[in-house]
Amino acid sequence: MQSIINLKVKFRESFRPFAPSVLRESVPEWFELDGDVPFMMQVYPIRAEKRALISAVTHVDGSGRLQTVQRDSNPLYYRLIEAFRDLTGVPMVLISGKLAAQRVQEYAGAARPTPVVAAR
């Protein structure tokens, strides 16, 4: 999935990992550290037994640059991730730096329509 998105969406090198937006309460189950990271500003080691499940967001050193999402601060995005978790068992979605734009207009202007097939 990481290679496909890098090639077809981001138009960059295939080895570059993405970041996960993760439900805040799920952080200790998936990462070796626990804390609030609302702005993708920290890198946490991903638990070894979870890395294969989220390989597109796992760096070569086994870490991930995460963003935590809390229900009270972003209820719509939280519900989206919660629905994805209910379907897949994974309480996070893949994001890129463009999705972290401060305003919707910033992202909308940079987005290109690209078909992406969900892989399990």
The total number of residues shown for the chain amounts to: 120
| CA dihedral angle for residue 29, residue 34, residue 38, residue 43, rounded to 10 degrees | -90
Contact between residue 18 and residue 98 where contact means Cβ atoms under 8 Å apart: no
- Look at residue 93 and tell me whether its pLDDT is greater than 90: yes
pLDDT range class, residue 99, cuts 50, 70, 90? very low
When pLDDT is averaged across residues 22-29 and rounded to a whole number, the result is: 98
Span 80-87, mean pLDDT? 95
Count of other CB atoms within 10 angstroms of residue 33? 13
Instruction: With H, G, I as helix, E, B as strand and everything else as coil, classify residue 23.
Output: strand
pTM surpassing 0.75? no
- Judged by DSSP in three states, 26 sits in helix
Residue-range domain boundaries for the chain: 2-110
- What is 2-110's CATH superfamily? Carbamoyltransferase, C-terminal domain (3.90.870.20)
Return the DSSP state at 9.
I
Reported as a single tens digit per residue, the pLDDT across 43-59 is 999 999 999 999 888 98
